[in-house]
C-alpha cells in the first residue's frame, strides 16, 4: 500500500521522507494557501523534494476547457505532477482530454461509488473517495471504499483507489485490509500510527531494567 502525505508544508514532507513514509504527495488549494507562497512555487518545491513520486496539484477552474488548460500548465512544472480534478461533468471532460494528452489525473471530492465509476470510465489515473467527510455526516466512509474497490475489480479498471480525508490510523488499517492502492495521510496521523501504549510501556521497562543493572 502506498502512502501519500497530504500537505503543502515542505518540512513535513522532509520529516516523513526521513522515516520512509512518502510514496507521493497530495495538495489542494486550502493547503497551498496555508503554505503562504505562490502556488506554482510550492508545487515545484514539493516535486523537487520527492523526485519521481506523484504530486497531486489541483486546478481551480470549473469549466472543462479551463481545467484542461490549467492541467497542461501544471504538468509543465514537473514530470511527476498529477493533475487533480474535481468530480463534476466538466471535470470528466477535462480528465478525458488530459489522458489523451498523456497527463495523469486524480479525481477528487468523490463521495459515492458511482462517481468513482464515472471517473474510471473517463480515464482517471486515481480516484479520491473522501471517507472522513462522509463519517462527519453519519455515513460510513469506509463502506464506500470497499464498494469502489469491488467495482474496479469487477471490470479491471486501471484507476487506483486513493483513500482521502483520512482522520485516524484506523482509516489506514481498514483501507489496507480492503486492498486500497493508496491512502493520503496528514503527517500528524502518520505519527499517530507509530504509537501504542504497550510499546511505550515496554520501552520504559527495558530502560528501567538497564538502568538498574548499571547501578549494580
* Residue from 63, 84, 212, 215 carrying the catalytic annotation: 84
The one-digit pLDDT tens for each residue of the chain (216 residues) are 999 999 999 999 999 999 999 999 999 999 999 988 999 999 999 999 999 999 999 999 999 999 999 999 999 999 999 999 999 999 999 999 999 999 999 999 999 999 999 999 999 999 999 999 999 999 999 999 999 999 999 999 999 999 999 999 999 999 999 999 999 999 999 999 999 999 989 998 889 888 888 887
Query: In the annotation, is 84 catalytic?
Result: yes
CATH numbers and ranges of domains, the chain: 2-215 (3.20.20.70)
Looking at residue 181, the DSSP 8-state letter turns out to be S
Task: For the chain, list the strands marked E by DSSP.
Answer: 2-6, 24-26, 55-58, 81-86, 105-110, 126-129, 160-163, 182-185
- Take residue 18 and report the three cell numbers written for it: 526521513
75: nearest Cα among 106, 119, 118:
106
CA 125 to chain centre: 13
The CA-atom distances, in angstroms, between 113 and each of 177, 210, 216 are 18, 54, 64
Kindly report the pTM of this predicted structure: 0.93
Count of positions (residues) in the chain: 216
Amino acid at each position: 500500500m502506498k502512502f501519500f502525505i497530504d500537505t503543502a508544508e515542505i518540512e513535513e514532507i522532509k520529516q516523513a521522507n526521513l522515516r520512509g513514509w512518502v510514496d507521493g504527495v497530495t495538495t489542494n488549494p486550502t493547503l497551498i494557501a496555508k503554505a503562504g507562497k505562490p502556488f506554482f512555487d510550492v508545487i515545484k518545491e514539493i516535486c523537487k523534494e520527492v523526485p519521481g513520486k506523484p504530486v497531486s496539484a489541483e486546478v481551480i477552474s470549473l469549466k472543462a476547457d479551463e481545467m484542461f488548460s490549467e492541467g497542461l500548465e501544471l504538468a509543465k512544472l514537473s514530470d511527476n505532477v498529477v493533475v487533480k480534478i474535481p468530480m463534476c461533468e466538466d471535470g470528466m471532460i477535462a480528465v478525458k482530454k488530459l489522458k489523451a494528452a498523456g497527463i495523469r489525473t486524480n479525481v477528487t471530492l468523490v463521495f459515492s461509488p458511482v462517481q468513482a465509476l464515472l471517473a474510471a470510465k473517463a480515464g482517471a489515473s486515481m480516484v479520491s473517495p473522501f471517507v472522513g467527510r462522509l463519517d462527519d455526516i453519519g455515513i460510513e466512509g469506509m463502506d464506500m471504499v470497499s464498494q469502489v474497490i469491488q467495482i474496479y475489480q469487477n471490470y479491471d479498471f486501471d484507476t487506483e483507489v486513493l483513500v482521502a480525508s483520512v482522520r485516524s490510523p484506523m482509516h489506514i488499517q481498514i483501507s489496507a485490509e480492503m486492498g486500497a492502492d493508496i491512502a493520503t495521510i496528514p503527517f500528524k496521523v502518520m505519527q499517530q500510527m507509530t504509537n501504542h501504549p504497550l510499546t511505550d510501556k515496554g520501552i520504559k521497562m527495558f530502560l528501567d531494567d538497564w538502568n538498574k543493572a548499571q547501578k549494580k
